[in-house]
Amino acid sequence: MILCRVFVPTSSYAQEKVPFVPSEKDYEVVFIREGQRVVIPCRGSLENLNVTLHTKYPNKELHPDGKDSWWDARTGFTVPSHLISYAGVVSCQTRIGNETFKSPLYIVAVVGYKIYNLSLTPVEVRLSVGERLVLSCLAHTELNVGIEFNWTHSGQALVSAQTISLSNTLIVENVTVDHTGEYTCTASSGQMEKSASAFLKVYEKPFIDIEEPWLKVWEVNVEDQKSTQIPVKYLAYPDPSFKWLKNGLPLKEDYRIKQRSDALIIRGVKEIDAGNYTIVLINKITKEEQRRSFQLLVNVPPKIIEKEVAVDTDVHPYGSSPTLRCTARGFPTPALIHWQWMSKEDCPEAFSEIPLKKCTGWRDITNSSGHNPVDRIVTDTDHAQKKIVSSLKIKKAEARALYRCMAANKVAEDSRIILFHVTRGLEVSMLPSNEPVEEDHVALRCRADKLIYGNLAWFRVANISKSEQLASVQPCRSLTLQPPSQSVLATQHGTNVTLELLLPNASRQDEGLYACQVQNIKTKERTCLLRRLSLRGLEAARVVNNLTDQKVNISATISLLCDVAGTPTPTVVWTKNNHTVVEGSGVILSQQNHVLTIQRVKKEDSGLYTCTACNSRGCDTSQAFLTTEGTEEKTNVELIVPIGSVVIAMFFWLLIVFVIRGRKRPNGGDLKAGYLSMILDSEDMPMDEQCERLTYDANKWEFPRERLKLGDPLGRGAFGQVVEAAAFGIEKASTCTTVAVKMLKEGATSSEYRALMSELKILIHIGHHLNVVNLLGACTRPGGPLMVIVEYCKHGNLSSYLKSKRGEYSPYKKWVSAEEDSTDDDHLTMEDLISYSFQVAKGMEFLSSRKCIHRDLAARNILLSENNVVKICDFGLARDVYKDPDYVRKGDARLPLKWMAPETIFDRVYTTQSDVWSFGVLLWEIFSLGASPYPGVCIDESFCRRLKEGTRMRPPEYATTEIYQTMLDCWLDRPTDRPTFAELVEHLGNLLQASAQQDGKDYIPLTVGEAEGPPVTLDPRSPNSRPQSGEILETQLHYDKPPTLGLSEQSEKCSRPLSVKMFEDIPVAHSSVMVSGHTDCGMGFSPEEVKGLNQLQLQIPPSFSQLLRCKSKESLASESSNQTSGYQSGYHSDDTDTPIYANEEVIMKHNMLKKPPPPSDKFNMEIRYSTPPV
């Protein structure tokens, strides 16, 4: 059958009234696709109408062009889709005559084809046999897209669906094992197709299976920055429920702990997290359970508990037996606690609130020689509490020190530093003695430890009778206290504070009970220490038992006793036939001259003996006549014994002399550290004989021990020590002076005693000078230790002082007005440095005039006193050279090689000119503000060789050209070429005057004479310093010369070379390690190598001996670049206008005076000593 469509035109009325075919609906929907033509079905009842297409939203009119768009009465209006895809409603329109006709409205709907995404959920499905499978396939498309879904199972078509839907769901009831496999959903829009897959696993039954092996111990560190995750690997169907247990109890979850079935996550592990953990997995269908457990170990670094609860400073009474305790907790428990200690001298800053990191001299507790003896160490370990307790028992607390306990495990280590402070607590003493006499200058001294007590005050206790007895320590609230009318003097040193109540010319009115009130810093409790003052009445001296005449046989021994009484204690003097009896061979005065003993009485010992006792109230005498009997003929035995003793002694003496003369001259490695601070320069007399010939005047220098109060140690060495002390009446009768006391340690040998006694005699022989630490007195009488009393310098040694002032150095003084106090300026200036150098030169000039050689002139042996006065010293007994890095071991001795002249190193020759060399090194220390000489240079055999060859130190940072010129003068190779100390005094005086004039003031330094007169207090910085009346002054220095070394122009001494080699210019060659003692860089000198050094000087040409010494400023240049030396590259010499630079070779042609080396007898006046400095 053939169907034909016939177009039948309507009637004319219809043609005129309805040109478009009407629609049964009010509007129709027109679907359009992107990139295709769209037909709007506005068919017409007439042909050849002029039809246009109108759009709304937005309004637009489209005219057919016959190519892309046209109107046909049978189909409608054809137009490209992109022209109307934006429109909401379209319609056709035409005009017939004056009338406009419109077609029905058509709604434009855009139909898409893009599929953006296709998802199949769930992606992975696990089921057991008999369960239901549900898969949902969802397509995400653009608007108005029709989708067709197709399903496949393992590549085979499963479901065919022709309906268009945006989603499709696959449901399979009662799955079997055969349903296992991959399911694919394919979505198609006609122009685009996408697929998604899911996997189904069908198990025969539910199960749980935890994978093996299972790690049973987990180890982590406490507070680890990373989260700790402990995995649980298992297979199960269905997904099990779970729970975590800790030590058998449900684990509480907080913000740090996250619990999952497959892991336990702990963030920031803490010590409390350690324990036994259990994971429990439960099958939801069968209720089957599977468990696994593990132990979590949390490693905790050790921590010393006392650091949190105890103070850093432990205060212990002197002589007590305290116990220091350290308790360390950690996991694993530390195996042990290690103890170390450090003396206060090794770290003085520790007690000054300065960080302890600067102190590095820690020693093992087993090496506690010379300090607080250790009784025992007890260690107790408690593994359950994860702690270890170590107790260090001190046998006797004697001195301040630092103790450190250290605990460690495999995680970390911890330490605690304990400041071990020894205090004598509260102490009240009375001076000059515990039983003062009327008219004495009495001082009541209250001493307390400022770490414990404060607010000291003296009071007089009222309403207390003499018969009433009170305890020495009383609560102050129970006493009636009255302020005393006398003056008080407060002093403070170290950790002790002292308050003195001064009672000059004490009388009976001053008798009574006195109280020193102190306040405990922590408890604020006030305590009073009571001391009763009772004065002994004055009583004239009298002899209690008169002497009686005696008869004694020749060669016998007799003792005469002079028993005296009186107040003050009388002094006793013995005379024989009106001549004073002096102690000597066979004559002994003992018990403060009360007993006169005569041994081996001779005939001439007969006579009238008188005992005279005197005090301030009067004198008394007693006499006895001594008669001798018998003859002086000696028996054979009496002759044989002394003669035999003399012969044996002579034999051994001769044997020793021959042995000593037969041996080679001792080298530097065999020298032993001696005690004598300074050496007398004599021609050929041995040192011991020199000291034996020196005398000690006890009447002039002896000082009572009871008037000396020892304090804190200032220095400590292997055999001796120097302590601070208070001397009552050593300068004036009513004053208390701070002094320094040299004394031996306990157990000192007789040779060490003789050495200190020799030093005392040498100090007496030297005499008094402003710039030398002067002798004030001594305690030599039996009944106590030998003590040498010298001046105390409050600022300590110059080396440490300069280091402490490095941050306060300024080249010039600050200007102050006349009304301001210039002494408030604590800044260190160039004038101060020159002043220190000048004063040391003055002191050394004095010592050299007294035929004394110092042998260890260095900044550490220069003390700084009040008013910027420096004093030369050498506390040889107090310095332990085995611990001092400035002393290099050479054989069995420790020598300060950096300060020693070449002739001293190679020939063991000490002269005043070798002291001049050391003075040059001292200048380098001063103008580097305390730096160690030869920085960065290895002190070994190579150093000694290069020093002999003429290599010298570069100029220090703060030295001027004139100062460095002076150093080089002191370091000339030939000793006779070096300036004398007198020339150095004049030269440095000129520089000091020039420096002072830069500050706008005249500076005329005054010096004291060399006689043993009273000391002159001189402020080198003050223009107002003037001599006191009666003082003997040396010739004043004139400063009208240029600041150059003032040597005579006619002098024939040779000058140094114009180009100076410096240590920084030559690479340091490290020698092989030697077997003997160590130098500064681990090197040492064996006896053979010392011999090599002695031979080395024969191979070195005299680099300085052939150059003429210029008296003006010489031009200096380093062989390396100026940047290396830090010194001015060139300057004009006074002799020539040609500048000399470090980077060019300048040859100065002079007529040089060639002089032969000094003859062997040139040093005949020098002494070769067997004892080097310490």
Q: 484 and 562: one domain?
A: no
pLDDT of the residue at 386: 85
Q: What is the CATH number of the domain that holds 264?
A: 2.60.40.10
Q: 234 and 267: one domain?
A: yes
By C-alpha distance, which of 771, 655, 758 is closest to 1169? 758
Q: Is 44 annotated as a binding residue?
A: no
Q: Is 717 annotated as a binding residue?
A: yes
Q: 737 and 802: one domain?
A: no
Q: 851 and 868: one domain?
A: yes
Q: Of 479, 512, 532, at which residue does a domain stop?
A: 532
Q: Is 742 annotated as a binding residue?
A: yes
Q: Is 718 annotated as a binding residue?
A: yes
pLDDT of the residue at 932: 93
Q: 523 and 549: one domain?
A: no
Q: In angstroms, rounded to a whole number, what is the distance separating the alpha carbons of residues 123 and 823?
A: 92
With residues binned 3-state (H G I as helix, E B as strand, rest as coil), the percentages for the chain, rounded to 5, are 20, 35, 45
The b/e string for 109-129 (b: 16+ C-beta within 10 A; e otherwise) is ebbbbebeebebeeeebbbbe
Question: CA 1128, 1130, 1136, 1137 torsion: positive or negative?
Answer: negative
Domain that holds residue 560: 539-629
Helix or strand holding residue 327 (H, E): strand 323-331
Q: Of 172, 203, 234, at which residue does a domain stop?
A: 203
What torsion do the CA atoms of 255, 258, 259, 262 make, to the nearest 10 degrees?
Answer: 180
Query: Contact 349/359 with Cβ under 8 angstroms?
Result: yes
By C-alpha distance, which of 448, 444, 443 is closest to 496? 448
Q: 909 and 991: one domain?
A: yes
pLDDT of the residue at 879: 42
By C-alpha distance, which of 7, 90, 71, 77 is closest to 45? 7
Residue 75 located in a structural domain: yes
Residue 125 located in a structural domain: yes
Residue 560 located in a structural domain: yes
Residue 691 located in a structural domain: no
As averages over each run of 10 residues, the pLDDT of the chain (1174 residues) reads 41 58 81 85 88 89 89 92 86 90 88 87 90 90 82 77 55 89 89 91 88 86 82 88 92 86 88 91 88 91 84 74 91 91 73 60 77 87 89 88 90 88 80 85 88 87 75 82 82 81 88 89 86 88 90 90 90 91 87 90 90 91 90 58 80 79 44 38 54 80 90 79 89 80 85 87 89 93 90 92 89 56 66 95 93 90 93 60 51 75 91 95 95 90 89 93 95 94 94 72 40 35 34 34 38 45 57 35 40 41 31 31 29 30 28 35 32 32
Question: Does 605 participate in catalysis according to the annotation?
Answer: no
Other beta carbons within 10 angstroms of residue 277's beta carbon come to: 20
- Catalytic residue, from 856, 969, 973, 1080: name it: 856
By C-alpha distance, which of 863, 731, 730, 855 is closest to 795? 863
By C-alpha distance, which of 405, 400, 318 is closest to 365? 405
Q: In angstroms, rounded to a whole number, what is the distance separating the alpha carbons of residues 472 and 474?
A: 7
Q: 36 and 131: one domain?
A: no
Tokens (6 digits) for 448: 């307390």
Residue 16 located in a structural domain: no
Q: Is 1065 annotated as a binding residue?
A: no
What residues form DSSP beta bridges with 1030?
A: none
Q: 881 and 992: one domain?
A: yes
Q: 519 and 579: one domain?
A: no
Domain count, the chain: 8
Q: What is the CATH number of the domain that holds 865?
A: 1.10.510.10
pTM surpassing 0.95? no
Tokens (6 digits) for 629: 């009997």
Q: In angstroms, rounded to a whole number, what is the distance separating the alpha carbons of residues 756 and 787?
A: 9
Q: What is the CATH number of the domain that holds 783?
A: 3.30.200.20
Q: Is 719 annotated as a binding residue?
A: yes
Q: Of 934, 968, 999, at which residue does a domain stop?
A: 999
Q: Is 861 annotated as a binding residue?
A: yes
Residue 945 located in a structural domain: yes
Q: 190 and 273: one domain?
A: no
Residue 1029 located in a structural domain: no
Residue 1105 located in a structural domain: no
Q: 804 and 874: one domain?
A: yes
Q: 832 and 929: one domain?
A: yes
